[in-house]
Amino acid sequence: MNNKYILVEKLENGVGVITLNRPEVYNALCTQLLNEVSAAIKDFDNDTNIGAIVLTGGNKVFAAGADIKEMANLDFASAYNNEFVKKEWQTLEKHTKPIVAAVAGFALGGGCEMSMLCDIVVCDTTAKFGQPEVKIGTMPGAGGTQRLTKAVGKAKAMYMCLTGDMIDSKEAKDYGLVASVFEEGTVVEEAIKIASKIASMSQPVVRLIKESINNSYESSLQAGLEAERKSFYTTLALDDRTEGMNAFVEKRKAKFSNK
Ligand code: CO8
């Protein structure tokens, strides 16, 4: 497949690497990029030579969230009726091989959610995690109110989702959002080392362990995710969401009307 927004590599040590590649917009997650990531993950899942995957944006930025310019004209009816990006996110949720997220720089909104969909998150000292959707008149729609709460606890998740403030790599480590923090510029190679260690293990055993941890972690999560997605679609009916996204695109401060 010819990819426009990602780079895909198969390394000899059984590791597949997917690199988000829209640097001019901080790897904003447009539908095509999500489609490409989803197809690459499916390919790796079906490839018996691949034992683990690294998902990264490279050593500068992970992703600054869903593509706001693409969503600026999205309305509630079409998002809900056509299940806007639901299947792409679900491929990420359902992958069977372990994925290590290697985060440098911003992991915001859908970017933070994408990292949390991976099985292990590692970052470098430049990493900044956040759920800033509230600032553009919407809310997380791919796990930000659910997985973040399970990862960092209610108080910190409320703080992050309600203020839109970011946390740095130290806080992310202290709160258990990431497994390890590496020196600036080294996170991709370190993530590959972790993935290569996993790829050297028995694939069915790795899969059983992963399933088993997810069974524990995800009990009662699905109902929350379904409700969250519908609530995200609901924000598309608000004037404030239109104002927030237009203000971002026009590079001005949003004036919310609480409607
Ligand atoms: N979408 C589209 N374009 C973006 C995005 C984005 N998320 N982030 C940055 N860009 C673009 C900018 O528009 C700009 O483009 P241009 O040069 O053409 O004007 C370029 O990237 C550089 O950005 P800035 O000039 O703003 O760079 P700064 O270094 O000043 O700031 C930030 C960097 C802090 C990352 C800033 O760009 C920012 O705040 N970005 C938006 C972050 C955000 O709000 N993310 C959340 C998006 S909403 C979301 O993710 C919801 C997911 C829901 C999934 C639903 C599933 C059902």
Q: What is the pLDDT of residues 2-27, one digit of tens each?
A: 899 999 999 999 999 999 999 999 99
pLDDT for 256? 81
Taken in order 52, 181, 178, 164, the sign of the CA dihedral is negative
Does residue 230 or residue 39 have the better pLDDT? Answer: 39
The whole-number pLDDT of residue 209 equals: 85
Better-scored residue on pLDDT, 180 or 204: 180
Query: pLDDT: is 151 or 227 the higher one?
Result: 151
- The tokens for 12 are 């000899």
Measured from the CB, is residue 225 less than 6 Å from ligand 1?
A: no
Nearest CA to ligand 1 atom 18: 25
pLDDT for position 16: 98
d(CA 225, CA 191): 28
Question: What pLDDT, on the 0 to 100 scale, is given for residue 220?
Answer: 74
Output b/e per residue, 216-242; b: 16+ Cβ within 10 A: eeeeebeebbeebbeebbbbbebebbb
pLDDT of residue 238: 83
Ligand 1 contact via 136 beta carbon (within 6 Å): yes
Nearest to 59 by CA among 35, 23, 92: 23
Rounded average pLDDT over 186-213: 91
State the catalytic residues. Answer: 66, 110, 113, 133
Q: Residue 196 region, left (φ>0) first, then alpha (ψ -120 to 50), else beta? A: alpha
Statement: residue 240 has pLDDT above 90: no
The answer to whether the pTM exceeds 0.85 is yes
Cα 184 from chain centroid? 20
pLDDT score recorded for residue 218? 65
Ligand 1 pocket, 130 CB below 6 A? no
Dist. CA 72 → ligand 1 center (Å): 12
